[in-house]
Structure 1
Amino acid sequence: MKNILTQFLVRAIKAFDWPLLIILLLFAGLGMLVMHSAVGEAEGRFLGQGRNFIIAFFVMWFVALWTPSQIMKIVIPFYVIGCLSLLAVLLFGYTSKGATRWLDIGFLRIQPSEMMKLCVPMMLAWYFDKHRSDLKIFDFFIAGILLLIPFVLIIKQPDLGTAILVFTTGFCVIYFAGLSFKLLTPLFIIGVTVITLILYYEPILCQPDFDWVILHDYQKTRVCTLLDPTLDPLGKGFHTLQGMIAIGSGGIYGKGYMQGTQTHLDFIPEQTTDFIYAVYAEEFGMYGSIFLLILYTLLLARCFVIVLKAKTQFGALLAGALTMMFFVYIFVNMGMVMGILPVVGVPLPFMSYGGTALVTLGLASGLLMSISNYKPSKPSN
């Protein structure tokens, strides 16, 4: 019994990728520190975030104990259940604030779209690994369908922010698998053209009675608010303006811990979730922001090392997609708070409050550790 326990403890310790774990523990400490300042009188939310970190840690550890080959066996059921859950959301999901994104199962309310942030890259990595010896153009077409099914279902909820994240991580797998860059050139040209036309015709496009057809009214409002938040400073532009004011008022050194006026006078909206970076930047200033960016750079650098040392194509593709997922989370959240991107519901990794988001990040970290520590068994002579 003692030997079995010892073997389990040794295996449990070896399951961790220690450089990655140390970085994540630093984020946990910093995240709880900033959360304490952001919650104000809502101490329950501070304790709840501590519970979320503990749950995410054990989820990460549990997944890290699996090998990539074991993970591959559950990819298809995981993906199918995720797609069926998205379909169930459209048919009889729970609606809140005009969006139907949740399934109410009595004792718990779940958001299946969060699951797809991992399901999609896992499924695509599995698919390309199975076809690695004879990859054809048709395989990229099938991969595109596997990506578009959950993307469309999430768009229908509507949840543009999550849909973009799911599409980005999935597309990264397709690109890393060998999609020619030449095929992306037309898409790049179209994208630049669309952005240029929107900027040029902004006065017409942002008129209240102008219908964008392909976007919901709230999505049109987000784009127009990005272009000029002063058009509605007390309404749709309030979030962006207050975030920019908080960051600017922090200056170089910051106002000090628990001294942020924008935070504690409740000017910053969603200060424990989407706009927690504004809370952090106001209290810790430019130097604090540089420290946070260094931490995120170390996180992405370690993830990139894991990509390079992956022993299987499945591991390399999945690790690359998860690395890009972290990057998109960081870039989109900070960009929207600073007013250079539209406001979408994207949390700041390991900083924003949220049980589902932290568990998803814990799962992603566990997958990275599994890939990092995997050593293929040597064939017997």
Structure 2
Amino acid sequence: MVKSTSIAQEITNTIQKTIGVESAVLHEPEFSGNEWKYLKECLDSGFVSSVGKFVDRFEKELSDYTGSKYAVAVVNGTSALHIALKLVGVEAGDEVILPSLSFVATANAITYAGGIPHFADSESKHLGLDPFALRDYLKTASEIKNGKCINKFSGNVIRAIVPMHTFGHPVMLDELISVAHDYRLSLVEDSAESLGSLYSGKHTGTFGAMGILSFNGNKTITTGGGGAILTQDENFAKLAKHLTTTAKIPHRYEYVHDQIGYNYRMPNLNAALGCAQLEQLPNFLESKRILFEKYKSNFQKLKGIQIVSEPERCKSNYWLQTILIDKEVEHMRDEILNVTNDNGVMTRPCWRLLHTLAPFLKSPKMDLPIATSLEARLINIPSSPKLIGSEI
């Protein structure tokens, strides 16, 4: 039997060989375009907060890039999801289906809207919600009454479903849209990680009633902190803009607010950074794809390890490169994490399953065998586009 330290060292060596350096962080931003120029323009103009030309420009360019009719820039992806859930009608006591294999922000946003996270299983190729397991579950756990999906056990309305595109790999959207339709669920895409990812040639975040993006410092492009709401619905877009600007009725000097709003506006400084980053996005995506191909070639030589690749019908942005260790060696995961990090190669496990976290222990859930297996076997490895350097 091969010792865990041997496998861990082989993985470390493979990563170092692929990236051409001995140490690397998981994902870091790259500022090699007009970032300084646009930020200086903000400073020179004095428009550094929520008013300024770069906010409008960033929203327009996001809309053009993703194919969404409307984009509303906000302070982060969590606030974007919060507002999107409110707009599709999530109310206090409503349940919202989401994968247990997700970042905690997905569940947090549901609770901000007054909802109750209802955890569902994932499938192994897309790493996202399993539409077939979910349909089977809803057949027995829910019923349609007066046009609403009702949880038979809690009596609560199941209002929406939030698929999350894990590490940038699109979920099985056609099948999930079918489930949402049959069970009267609004579909809101958590596309925080998937800017640049396509499903059947269409950008993620544009399939449901609404979608959201994140531009945190570790994302494919960054605005420092920031997010966006995507929608094809003009009324949703107008209301999203209104609610995220404290629900203030436009007036040149009066302060009148017609409902509870939120100070979720993206500052002009952040939007300026985003505009510069968007200009470089095609190169970032190409670098990430080249990095994936190099990892794929080198990891093929290791037994018990596979690199996660884009599923059928999908074009992934490869936000985070990910390896999946075989079940026979999953007990070696922590050893792999320790050895790689001790050697300067930053690796991370995937998130703790959300239903196991203290705030969500009493939340409803289906059986989660695949998510449980994936949690034990997924490891993220260095993924920055700058690791490719001048190869493109």
TM more than 0.5: no
User: Quick check: which one's strand share is greater?
Assistant: 2
TM range (shorter): under 0.3
Please give the TM-score of this superposition, normalised by the length of structure 1. 0.27
Please give the TM-score of this superposition, normalised by the length of structure 2. 0.27
